[in-house]
Amino acid sequence: MKSQITLFLKGVAMGAADVVPGVSGGTIAFITGIYETLINSIKSVNATALKLLFSFQLKAFWEYINGTFLLILFAGIATSVLSLAKLITYLLEHHPIPIWSCFFGLIIISAILVGKQIRKWSVPVLLTGIAGIAIAYFVTVATPTSTPENYGFIFLSGAIAICAMILPGISGSFLLLILGKYAFILNAIKNLQLDVIAVFGAGCVLGLALFSRFISWLLSKYHDLAVALLSGFMIGSLNKVWPWKEVLSTRINSHGEEVALITKNILPSTYGQHANPQTLVAIICIVGAIALVFGLDYFASRSNTKQA
C-alpha cells in the first residue's frame, strides 16, 4: 500500500508538471526513478498484449502490461490535471518568480543526476548532449502560432504533445502552445467537449505507442547517447523556466484574459526596475528544489541498495 501511494503521488507530480508550459512530466519521472519502467510498461501494450486481451486471458494481460503500475500512475496524473491544474495556474499567475525558481532548481539538479547515468563519456556522447541542448532551446524560443481546429490537426497535436510529455526537458504543454492548441485543448477539457477530447486522446495513445518503443530501443541499444540527449534536453529547457522575464507580446486565453505569449529573459536587476525581483526568495526556492531532489535521489539509492 505504501509503495502504491508513493507511485500515485509520483503521478500527481507528473500531471502537475505536464500542465505547466515549460516543465516536463518526463523530468519528474526521471527524478523519481520510474522513467524506464514507465517507458517499458507503455511499450508492452503490443500485439501480444492485445492477443491476451481478446482471448480473455485478463490476468495474464494485466501482468504483461504492468497494469497496476500504469493504472496507479495515470490515476495520479489524471487527478493532478483535474485538480492541481487550477492551483498551479493560480501560483504561476500570482507568485511566478518563486514557482519558476523551483522549476529552475529542479531541472538543474535533474540534468546533473541524469548525466551521472552516462557510463562512458566520448566525443559522440558529448556532441549528442550538445544537440539535445540546442533542440530544447530552439523549442523554447519558437513562437506560438495559429493552426487549424479540424480533427486531423487535433489528432496530430495529441501525438506530438504526448511524445514531449514523456521526454525529460521538453514540455508537451509548451508544444501545444506552439501549435496553437494549448488553450483550445484546456477549454475542451473544461467544457467536456467529448469529440475533441476523444480525437486528442486517440492521438496521445498512438504517440505513446510509437514513441515509447523508440525511446526504449534507444536506451537499450545506445544508452549513453540516449541519456546524454535527455540530459541535454533538460539543460536546453532552462531557458524557458528562467524566473525573470519581460513580456514582449500577449494573447487572450480561454477565459478571455490577457496573458504572456512571447517573453524575453532578463536579469533580476533589470526586472527590479519595474517590480520586486524577489531575488532572495528565488535563490531559496532554487536551493530548496535542488535539496529536495538530492533527498529523493538519496532515499531512492538507499532503497535500491536494501532491495539488492
- pLDDT confidence of residue 126: 94
Map 70-86 to HEC letters: HHHHHHHHHHHHHHHHH
Q: Which of 221, 144, 131, 239 is nearest to 183 (CA)?
A: 144
The yes-or-no verdict on residue 253 having pLDDT over 70 is no
Q: What is the pLDDT of residues 47-92, one digit of tens each?
A: 888 898 888 888 999 999 888 999 999 899 888 877 776 677 678 7
> What pLDDT, on a 0 to 100 scale, did the predictor assign at position 286?
92
Mean pLDDT of the region 196-217: 84
DSSP 142: S
Q: pLDDT grade, residue 146 (50/70/90)?
A: low
CA atoms within 13 A on the CB side of 73: 20
Answer yes or no: is pLDDT of 215 > 70. Answer: yes
Report d(CA 9, CA 149) in Å as an integer. Answer: 34
Q: How far apart are CA 130 and CA 50, in angstroms?
A: 40
pLDDT at 149: 79
User: Predicted confidence band at 21 (pLDDT cuts at 50, 70, 90)?
Assistant: low
The pLDDT of residue 305 is: 57
Summarised one tens digit per residue, pLDDT across range 277-300 is: 999 999 999 999 888 777 766 765
CA distance 135 to 132: 5
What pLDDT is attached to residue 256? Answer: 67
pLDDT bin (cut points 50, 70, 90) of residue 265 is confident
Give CA separation, 178 vs 40, 72, 115, 140, 181, in Å: 29, 30, 28, 9, 8
The string of pLDDT tens digits covering residues 96-145 is: 899 889 888 877 887 887 788 888 899 999 999 999 899 888 877 776 66
- Find the largest Cα–Cα distance for the chain: 68
pLDDT at 281: 94
pLDDT of residue 56: 86
The stretch 35-49 carries a mean pLDDT of 84
End-to-end CA distance of the chain: 21
Burial 110-145 (b: 16+ CB within 10 A, else e): bbbbbbeebeeeeeebeebbebbbebbbebbeeebe
The mean pLDDT of 34-49, rounded to a whole number, is: 84
**Residue 11 pLDDT greater than 90, yes or no:** no
- What pLDDT digit, counting tens, does each position of 152-206 carry? 999 988 888 887 667 766 667 767 866 778 768 877 877 778 888 899 989 988 8
Nearest Cα residue to 157 out of 114, 188, 133:
188
CA-closest candidate to residue 173, choices 196, 151, 204, 202: 204
Q: Decide if pLDDT at 302 tops 60.
A: yes
